[in-house]
Chain A
């Protein structure tokens, strides 16, 4: 079962945390190397363009500041994603200027996610990016955690604050929406 691989992964994290708590700073470097790229991907797909690296840094600072409250019954990865998601939401709320801003923000998120399209030379790649960008925010969260990071529904549900069943539905709806977008385009 995949749980064995995930459990082994989680055990590596726990061992690194224990090393860090004993004063081994290299363990922190390993932990950051293991998780920072995935956090950056998640931030970007949630519409963060400028300062994604700062948000990732803030995520680690907060996590390491409260490792004593980390429960080993959820994975460190899930916990980090949860912290990052909250930071992204906080930033989006801070930038909100009025109730009608929500729709604008979603459009803004789509534009930001697509803003780097100049870097994507391949037209097919561009279309795939657009397809992902046009998912609803919740669908995009679930879909990217599943496809980009290979997270199980149990962990995705914890990050997005939903149930496994709902996340499964969101994932398959997202996949269907992307296929339709690509076939219509």
Chain B
């Protein structure tokens, strides 16, 4: 038995045998097979393989398998099918991000000097939240903060690694100038794949 030189047609033979090709490909392969002895022989071999292998396969007990399955989850409207396997990491990241955002938001009046919290610590975009008072029209001795000076918090936080975020939170914990506002009194709702989650 020789090999047909038409690699594309040979490649499609198993799918042709299974009937999973679209109409156009099915017609192309059928026309080729009709004119090609090699592909006809290979197609017949594919059929023999399928038949011979299937002979030794035990029948599966569908009822037994279904009986062993865990109970279905209660209806919750959760679009679990589209959840990423990294969901837990992503969720933790957002927990850190939300916590950081909260503390930063309530920490107005605190001027943070630029600190090293890893290479990903700086993020600036159009939705920056500044931790300092609005610099506009102020005559503070302190020079208005520029993006180079203050910590800014924007959408790029999700790009931080967990380590970066943990380092950021650790530094925030160590600050003694934080206001006494209890951030836990605020319960923001974070949109996630599983619908609303509260911190």
A176 CA to B81 CA, complexed, in Å? 40
Q: Contact at A40–B72, with CB atoms within 8 Å? A: no
Complex partner residue of A60 from B21, B46, B65, CB under 8 angstroms: B65
Task: Given A1-B25, A28-B66, decide whether A20 and B45 contact each other with a Cβ distance below 8 A.
Answer: no
Interface residues on A, range: 35 or more
Residues of B within 8 A of A149 (CB): 18
Interface majority SS on B: helix, strand, loop or mixed?
Answer: helix
| Assembled-state Cα–Cα distance A70/B78 (Å) | 13
Contact (A33, B70) CB under 8 Å given A2-B20, A5-B22, A125-B55: no
Contact B66 A40 (CB under 8 A): no
Chain A: CB-nearest residue to B60: A36
Provided the pairs A120-B55, A150-B18, A172-B10 are in contact, do residues A178 and B66 lie with their beta carbons within 8 angstroms?
no
Interface size on B, residues (CB 8 A): 50
A-B contact pairs, 20 of them (CB 8 A): A4-B22, A29-B62, A32-B60, A33-B62, A36-B62, A37-B60, A57-B64, A57-B68, A70-B80, A70-B81, A71-B85, A116-B56, A125-B55, A128-B49, A132-B53, A144-B53, A149-B18, A150-B14, A150-B15, A150-B18
Residues of A participating in the B interface, judged by any CB pair closer than 8 Å = 1-6, 14, 17-18, 20-25, 28-29, 32-33, 36-37, 39-41, 44-45, 52-53, 56-57, 60-61, 64-65, 67-72, 113, 115-117, 119-120, 122, 124-126, 128-129, 132, 144, 146-150, 152, 168, 172, 175-176, 178-179, 182-183
